[in-house]
Amino acid sequence: MGRMRWFTRTSKIVALCSAANFINSADRLIMPIAIVPMADIFNWSLHDQGWIHSAFAVGYFTSQIIGSFWATKLGVKNVLICSVFLWSIATFITPLLAHSINLLISCRIILGFAEGLGLPTIFQLFAHSIPVEERSRAFSYLIASGSVGQTVASVLCPHLSWQSCFYWFGSFGFAWVFMWFLFYPKDAYNGEDVIPLHAPKVSQKIRWPDFVLCKALWAIYVAHFAMNWSSYIIMQWLPTYLAKYLGGNAHSLSLTALPYIVNSVFGVISGHVADGLLLRKNWSVLNVRRLMTCVGLIGPALFLAIFCVVDHLWFALILVSISMGLFASNSAGHLSNHVDIAPNHAGTTFAISNTIATISGILCGPVTASLVHYSDGKWMTVFLGATAINLTGAFIYFTNSVATQVL
């Protein structure tokens, strides 16, 4: 099996983009932890909390396709720098606006918009810069770095004041921008072993109906939606669920890092397993993508179904950690499938897919709050619903996916 060598152009791209995704993922996890004390301070109802969570997804939803378009026209470097800088500002000023729920929701929308520019831009870069035999690992490192960011936020935030969480992680984004300009000054872009200012031009004309009518793309879109539905429930509501339903304290909330640690480890392992299978003659690219997606959707579905009837905190954490770990297999499954079927438009197809999948983030907050309210404080319908969506997504992907170029 070929290895990704360090200090090459490919490894620099993966490292820098992974660092950006680390900060991206950490910033979005601060509010689900900080909202536990904030709700008590500002007297927010469960529905208020649901809309605060969903505000992020509203902004994230609006920027996906825009990010792909801007990356092509303005250059991936420019869009990525602006994205990180804007979401860092939004993170840093959140405590200053928390007294007004309307201002806070507006800030969360801006945060989501800026963070939504990141991954489509990175996918555009990966599609043109990462060799096919290294893509599964590159995407796995990228996704795993996000899990590491969530882990760090989960460990640190419960032990800091809620204001400090936003100030610290907002500052990390400013440091990333500074480090970019320090290591990649403007005049350094003349060499070949650097990140390109612009992605290579696409020779194939874009036919927009193809992005909407292609059955293979809809298989990815549905799988991505299913993955995001469960992921948003865990990301947005796990600290609240542990604190309010299982009696967790600040120490217990630090344990919410465990699912993200497991996710990081599984993500890297799944990428290497997928690439190893691809080197075997009896495993096609399609079979590998289907296998990893089914592991990444069906596995979590089963463990979430058990999770909803468990009332022991440690057992619940183990189950949700296994679920998050198995979710990581999707990075070598349907998430990598974009560059298989649309290598010239991977940024655009991912942007569309992430836009559709982000609908789950918009709905997840108020729907979860309503389900818990009408179930007299019980969460079983929330997790069983996620199980059903995951199983449906796995079935649709398995029966309609392809791994040959269609766009």
User: How does pLDDT run across 310-343, given as a tens digit for each residue?
Assistant: 888 889 989 999 999 999 899 889 998 998 898 8
Residue 299 included in any domain: yes
pTM of the model: 0.74
Express as a percent the part of the chain with pLDDT over 90. Answer: 38
Q: Residue 391 has what pLDDT? A: 97
Please give the tally of structural domains in the chain. 1
Q: How confident is the model at residue 201 (pLDDT cuts 50, 70, 90)?
A: very low
Residue 395 included in any domain: yes
CATH number, domain with residue 368: 1.20.1250.20
**Count of C-beta atoms within a 10 Å radius of residue 207:** 10
Look up the domain containing 138 and give its range.
9-195+208-400
Specify whether the CB–CB gap between 150 and 239 falls below 8 A.
no
Q: How confident is the model at residue 154 (pLDDT cuts 50, 70, 90)?
A: confident
How distant, in Å, are the alpha carbons of 15, 131, 263, 324 from that of 139?
11, 12, 13, 17
Q: How confident is the model at residue 67 (pLDDT cuts 50, 70, 90)?
A: low
Residue 405 included in any domain: no
Distance CA 95, CA 83 (A): 20
Q: How confident is the model at residue 1 (pLDDT cuts 50, 70, 90)?
A: very low
Residue 1 included in any domain: no
Residue 203 included in any domain: no
Residue 323 included in any domain: yes
Q: Which residue has the tokens 């990140």?
A: 195
Specify whether the CB–CB gap between 127 and 343 falls below 8 A.
yes
pLDDT beyond 80 at 184: no
Q: Which residue has the tokens 């601060």?
A: 30
User: How does pLDDT run across 25-38, given as a tens digit for each residue?
Assistant: 899 889 999 998 99
Residue 406 included in any domain: no
Residue 355 included in any domain: yes
